[in-house]
Chain A
Amino acid sequence: MSDGKRLAVVGAGAVGGSVVDLAAEYGHTVVAFADSSSAAVAGDDSGIDAAAALDRKADEGTVGDADPDDALHADYDVLVEATPTTLGDAEPGFSHLQTALERDRHVVLANKGPVAERYGDVRDLERNSAGQVRFEATVGGAIPIVSTVEDLSPSHVTAARGILNGTANFILSRMAAEGIDYEHVLAEAQDLGVAEADPTFDVEGTDAALKCVILANVLSEGEREFTLSDADVEGITNVPGSALELAAEDGRTIRLVGEATRDGIRVGPRLVPQNAALAVTGTRNIVQLETTHAGQLNLSGRGAGGPETASAVLGDVGRLE
């Protein structure tokens, strides 16, 4: 483990909040914390009062009295970018990353936008900076996927495929287990907080596709840049209970599977054997890597959640030079 780092955390949702909460446990100091309208910036290297900032966020909806821009220009080693993922120009996340790299600071992303939609731009900025960019938390939450591909070397990984959206997987596994239709399971998932009020991003396959785009970018090592528009994406809203029944009669089930290779990205409902590694149930995620020398690797675990994703962020912080 490297020495403790000074962190600026931008984004105060479940992931950003958990990073602030857990940073000290990993030996790091949060010197700035911002949401979209406010910021807490430490006066010295002892860092902000994490508990107070998190309480204030819960009670008042702001994290401090400073301007969010102050956090971006605070004296930190690593910017943790945990604002919501946006498509297209990936703003404001991309500008946050740019600001940090231009100041020769490291960036750890939990936000998928910059590496899914502007991977080439991100790598260009990184090349001209003393800072590095890491993004383990953008794919598969707590599961160490990007770092595993790095360890194997991307050129030795021929394909990555998996279940990368817990909401869609929860819905499909509940539909199959209970014989109930999509609308009922979706309502249940929303009650449980597994699905958002607007579940489009998850059930239409967009979220899984973004993660596959990121993996395809990692695998192609800059030879080709992928964005969401390169992905062939189909969601689960057209999968009726009758199809899951037919699959079950044959010892199979249906899962929203994402596939990433150097040649492209495909996300859609697929038939898999019920006892297959990929047939995880509930909100669990799994990624299967095909390698040239190491056979097939299956990595599974929790693909979402504040502390889970924060652990991937803090793992990245620990890997920085």
Chain B
Amino acid sequence: MTSALNSESETDAESDDRTRSQSCGSRGDSDVDTGADGQPQPHTIRLELPDQPGQLLAALEPISDNGGNLLSIFHERGNVTPRGRIPVEVDVEATPDRFDAIVSALRDGGVNVVQAGAEHYAEEVVVLLVGHLVDTDLSDTLRRIEQCPAASIADFSLNAPEGRTDTSSARLRIATRAGATAEALEMVSDIAEEKELHVVEPLTGGAA
């Protein structure tokens, strides 16, 4: 399962205070925005795990066992709780029934579930960036957006008809936490301003 692979790579990255693995591609074409009954939806589970090898992997097994699709893991090693536990935020896509089963299985297995159910990457926003994207270090731009806890890049396209040196355009599909779309857009806008890029933002909410 991809979830197991993600968790392994996650535990290896111990040098970072906050590390995350992302498997947005695995979301496929499922419509995560509908929220309709019975449809798979993104959910966030907050766990606190003892700082011991194998704990993360053990905590993730009930997710795949119960048909959940692991979207991302936040392993907040730099944020140890007063009782010495490590907070972990797991994003899972699952139908409401399966999500309930996942949470029950985690609790039955003795995992400390702090919070479950609030949607995490519940919203998606598409923005365009225009300007000297390549010359202004495109990978740095993307990395900085990805570093924002409220946002994750789900899809990226570059259109550079004049080659690397002239004006080009990029389309970013950004998954954001529920209610954090404005924050994510502001962050993109700040990075763009610093790099003298133009942002074409979407109309959000019920507009358009």
Residues of A within 8 Å of B131, CB to CB, are 238
A-B contact count (CB 8 A): 74
Contact B159 A242 (CB under 8 A): yes
Given known pairs A272-B203, A278-B203, the reply for A243 and B126 (CB within 8 Å) is: no
A254 — nearest CB in chain B belongs to which residue? B200
Q: Which listed residue, A238, A250, A277, A288, touches B130 by the CB 8 Å rule?
A: A238
Is A264 located at the chain interface by the 8 A CB criterion? Answer: no
A241 to B130, CA, bound (A): 10
Whether A240 and B167, one on each chain, are in contact in the complex, defined by CB atoms closer than 8 angstroms, is: yes
A247 to B171, CA, bound (A): 7
Mark A48-86 against chain B: 1 for CB-CB distance below 8 A, else 0: 000000000000000000000000000000000000000
Chain B proximity of A299: nearest CB distance (Å)? 15
Least CB distance, A47 to chain B, in whole angstroms: 46
A301 interfacial contact with B, CB 8 Å: no
Contacts A246-B157, A246-B169, A249-B171; is A161 near B203 (CB within 8 Å)?
Answer: yes
* Contact (Cβ within 8 A) B208 A239: no
Nearest B residue (CB) for A275: B208
Shortest A216–chain B CB gap in Å is 16
Q: In the complex, A254 Cα to B198 Cα: how many Å?
A: 13
Question: Are the C-beta atoms of A271 and B203 separated by less than 8 Å?
Answer: yes
Say how far A255's CB is from chain B's closest CB, in angstroms: 9
Q: How far is the CA of A247 from the CA of B169 in the complex (A)?
A: 10
Interface residues of A in 231-284 (CB under 8 A from B): 234, 238-243, 245-247, 249-250, 252, 254, 257, 268-273, 276-279
Chain A, Cβ-Cβ closest to B197: A238
Residue contacts A-B, CB under 8 angstroms, 19 given: A234-B198, A240-B169, A242-B130, A242-B160, A243-B130, A245-B169, A246-B128, A246-B169, A250-B173, A254-B128, A268-B201, A269-B200, A271-B127, A271-B201, A276-B208, A278-B203, A279-B208, A290-B206, A296-B206
Residues of A contacting B1 in the complex (Cβ-Cβ under 8 angstroms): none
Distance A273 CA – B208 CA, assembled complex (angstroms): 7
Mask of B157-180 contacts with A, CB within 8 angstroms, 1/0: 101110000011111010000000
Provide the bound-state CA to CA distance between A239 and B1, in Å: 43
**How many chain A residues touch B (Cβ–Cβ < 8 Å)?**
29
Closest to B198 in A: A238
Once A252-B126, A254-B128 are accepted as A-B contacts, the answer to whether A243 and B207 lie under 8 Å apart by CB is no
Q: Write out the residue numbers on chain A whose beta carbons fall within 8 Å of the beta carbon of B157.
A: 246, 249
B78 close to chain A: CB less than 8 A:
no
B202 within 8 Å of A by Cβ? yes
Bound form: Cα–Cα A273–B207 in Å: 10
| A234 partner residues in chain B, CB cutoff 8 A | 198
Distance between Cα atoms of A271 and B199 in the complex (Å): 10
Q: Check A250 against B200 for contact (C-beta < 8 Å).
A: no
A contact residues around B160 at 8 Å (CB): 242
Chain A residue with minimal CB distance to B130? A243
* Binary B-proximity of A289-317 (CB < 8 A = 1, otherwise 0): 01000001000000000000000000000
- Measured between beta carbons, the chain A residues less than 8 angstroms from B173 are 250
A250 in contact with B126 (CB, 8 Å): yes
User: Is the Cβ of B203 less than 8 Å from the Cβ of A243?
Assistant: no
Contact B161 A241 (CB under 8 A): yes
Closest to A251 in B: B126
Judging by beta carbons under 8 Å apart, are B126 and A271 in contact? yes
Please name the residue on chain A nearest to B167 by beta carbon.
Answer: A240
With A and B bound together, what is the CA distance between A276 and B207 in angstroms?
9
The 9 closest A-B pairs by CB, nearest first: A276-B208, A243-B169, A242-B169, A242-B159, A246-B171, A271-B202, A272-B208, A238-B198, A278-B208
Q: Is the CB of B170 within 8 A of A278?
A: no
- State the CA gap A282–B12 with chains docked (Å): 56
Cα of A240 to Cα of B208 in the assembled complex, Å: 22
Bound-state CA distance A245–B171 (Å) is 10
Bound-state Cα–Cα, A273 to B202, Å? 9
Q: Across the interface, which residues of A come within 8 angstroms of B128, CB to CB?
A: 243, 246-247, 254, 271
In the bound complex, do residue A257 and residue B130 qualify as a contact, i.e. CB atoms below 8 Å apart?
Answer: no
